[in-house]
Amino acid sequence: MTTEDNKPKTAAFRVGLGDITPNNLGQLKRLNTVLFPVVYTASFYKDVLDVGEFAKIIYFNDVCVGAVCCRKENVAGSTSLQNLYIATLGVLAPYRRLGLGSKLLEHIIENAELPPSTGPKIAKMYLHVQTDNEEALEFYKKHGFNVAEKCENYYPQFEVSDAFRLEKVLVKDE
């Protein structure tokens, strides 16, 4: 059932995060096809299976409606720090503005801030957003990300090709 503005009713709903596994990888691929104008490679999906808490699907009343996928990157000259790149974060249009994107991002931030049981700490999180995507820019700023730089022609295949690199620093220089 939906409200007049075609959004799902929010009176009684269940929201849950799920791991990305080989069994639901097809759902993630279908979601990304709808959400993003980029075709992701087989290696992207293989890597998603290996990042643990940094790749999640979100369910709304048991329906897969969004996901986040990150990758860890080594910091040059450090064996104790890594960066976390948010490659994708999206929620299907009818389920936006229900806090689902925030739930996904907050999960990633919380896990990035945890002291690692083994391996390097996450020094910063970052991502790219097209310069005209004001909704995404405000969303990430609300969660503590700042514009670090403008990347000209970052998306050469799109009409709006420039992007901002947004980042959230978690560990000051050690």
Find the catalytic residue in 85, 126, 154, 155: 85
Catalytic (active site) residue 85: yes
Q: How many residues does the chain have?
A: 174
Find the catalytic residue in 40, 126, 128, 154: 128
Catalytic (active site) residue 128: yes
Active site (catalytic) residues: 85, 128
